Amino acid sequence: MFDCVGIGICAVDYLCLLSHYPALDEKMDAEQFSYQGGGPVPNALITLARLGAKTAYIGVVGDDEHGKFTLEEFEQEWVDISGVVVDKNCQTNQAFIWIDQQTGKKTVVLNKNSTAELMPNELSNRHITSTRYLHLDGRETEATIAAIELAKEAGVEIVLDAGSPRKRIEEILSLVDYPIVSESFCRNYLKTSNYEEGLEKLVLKGASIAVVTCGAKGCYAADSTGVVFQPAFNVNVVDTTGAGDVYHGAFIYGLLQNWELPQIMKFAAATAAIKCMHLGGRNGIPDLNKVNQFLLSKEENQ
């Protein structure tokens, strides 16, 4: 039995920390470079695993060095990979990320291999029906819909990381229990800059709890009882890559503990803030002890 099974694209991340954002035709040196595994759902699963949850990843990697590296990282973190498909005919996705040292903001270019897409017939039913939560990024549409159907039948609750609107998103949103969407998704898809209005739309589509994350401005969530706001923690930001992914993982951890919504949001914001103090989506993900110490130190300073 797993606490959370995740389906979504994985990639390896090439990260360059830059003293300033480059102009066209500019040549410059990186302040720091890092190579790590990445992808929204994989990063969320590694967050959950470091916090102590039992997780499994389902997805496709190529039969190449990047794929081998990805699987080795999962194994080191105790994420189950028995549902992963290694496809001899595709290349593992790569993301090239530039981070502006002055703001910690980043630009991500994904070299997505269109053949590295999970198909419904490649889904591991055994994993999907033996987990408490299913976490999705909504990208691999056909496999996502098939997984949702299986999960629903088995009474598994579903979390969605909606960064941008993707194919059949309306249908997917009507089926998930916990949509956690980005500020840009709220603006571009829900067509509102008013977060409370966006949350209300998500709850009307069937969400038990809906969340909008707004980067350094914090996050808003709504359930049937009302709206909760959690400010972001003030930290020395190095790189915000993966902040949302880590927030999702930590939010699911809070759901697994049956915490009240404000406690879940505070915990998720703290876990994401700690990540932001490090380069890359993975290296800075804390364990449970570190998050608790961080929260304690913030309370003492209040």
Could you say whether residue 245 binds ligand ATP (CB under 6 A)?
Answer: yes
**Is 67 near ligand ATP (CB under 6 A)?**
no
Burial of 224 (C-beta count, 10 Å sphere; 0-12/13-18/19+) = exposed
Q: Which region, left, alpha or beta, applies to residue 151 given φ > 0 means left and ψ of -120 to 50 means alpha?
A: alpha
Please tell me whether residue 242 binds ligand ATP under the rule CB under 6 A: yes
3-state secondary structure of 235: coil
| Site map 145..164 versus Mg ion, x via CB under 5 A | ------------------x-
Interacting stretch for Mg ion, rule CB under 5 A, among 28-36, 42-50, 112-120, 237-245?
A: 237-245
Taking the complex as a whole, how short is the minimal distance between the CB of residue 106 and ligand ATP, in angstroms? Answer: 7
Q: Is 101 a binder of ligand ATP (CB under 6 A)?
A: no
Q: Of 52-60, 166-174, 189-197, 272-280, which segment contacts ligand ATP by CB under 6 A?
A: 272-280
Displacement of CA 15 from its chain's centroid (Å): 17
User: Residue for token digits 């706001």?
Assistant: 229
Residue from 143, 272, 279, 285 touching ligand ATP (CB under 6 A): that is: 272
**Residue 232 binds ligand ATP, judged by CB under 6 A:** yes
Q: What number of chain residues touch Mg ion (CB under 5 A)?
A: 2
Query: 5: phi > 0 → left, psi -120 to 50 → alpha, else beta; which?
Result: beta
Q: How many CB atoms lie within 10 A of CB 114?
A: 7
CB 97 within 8 A of CB 90: no
Interacting residues toward ligand ATP by CB under 6 A? 104, 163, 182-183, 213-216, 218-219, 232-233, 235, 237, 240, 242-245, 247, 269, 272-273, 276
